Amino acid sequence: MKYIGAAVWLFAALPATTLAQEPDGAPVPDEVKALAGCWSGSGSVMGKPVAIGLDARSITGDALFVVDVDSHALADPEDRYAAHLIFGGKTVRPEDGDAKNISAFFADSFGGDFTGVGTGSVRPDGFEVAYAYPDASFVNRWRVAGDAVSWTITARTGAGPEEPFATYDLVRAACAGA
């Protein structure tokens, strides 16, 4: 027990800069960090109109980036949905060229059985990440243009074509508690 206490004091005494991202770690791409701030808008999920809000910020000493999502069906405000998306840079192997790779994790109000790990890359007008689930791959495409964000999600089962799943249009909004 005394060793655990000593370890806690040792970590508490470290300067904050030692908790920053490892020097060789891949930074979060700027295209992802462009989402920083709060956003509000509307969209549709499987044809159902929804209102949506995002709160996006750097976490873990800027080594990762999180987007917290809250939405509800317009026809029934009690029909709520929440998600927690985490993005990080992914080190590019030399054979991958200049690509800026993204690693990602998706967790939502459907619980632990529906979490997903994703990979993606930067595009000229934003970024995209695909999350593999047992029944389908969900491709999330993000576009940030000034004070507007569009986020589309398509689903692909097997070798079939992508099918629309959700689409959102958001504008910059004041953050709660700001």
Q: Which domains does the chain have, with CATH numbers?
A: 25-173 (2.40.128.20)
User: Cα(121)–Cα(128) distance, rounded to whole angstroms?
Assistant: 6
Q: Which of 128, 83, 87 is nearest to 105 (CA)?
A: 87
Amino acid in the structure at residue 105: F
At 6, the pLDDT band (50, 70, 90 cuts) reads very low
pLDDT greater than 50 at residue 69:
yes
User: Cα(81)–Cα(108) distance, rounded to whole angstroms?
Assistant: 8
Q: Which of 43, 42, 52, 84 is nearest to 67 (CA)?
A: 84
Q: Is 92 in contact with 101 (CB distance < 8 Å)? A: yes
User: Cα(26)–Cα(93) distance, rounded to whole angstroms?
Assistant: 11
- Any residues with CB less than 8 A from the CB of 83 and at least 6 apart, and which? 67, 68, 69, 106, 107, 108, 109
34 φ/ψ sector (left φ>0, alpha ψ -120 to 50, else beta): alpha
* pTM summary value: 0.82
For residues 88, 85, 58 and 118, what is the CA-based torsion angle, rounded to 10 degrees?
A: 10
**The pLDDT of residue 14:** 45
- What's the pLDDT tens digit per position in 91-147? 876 565 555 689 999 999 988 888 999 999 999 889 999 999 888 999 999 999 999
Residues β-bridged to residue 20: none
User: Is 111 or 58 the better-scoring residue by pLDDT?
Assistant: 58
**Averaged confidence pLDDT in the chain:** 86
Residues β-bridged to residue 72: 51, 80
User: Cα(29)–Cα(6) distance, rounded to whole angstroms?
Assistant: 37
Q: Is 168 in contact with 43 (CB distance < 8 Å)? A: yes
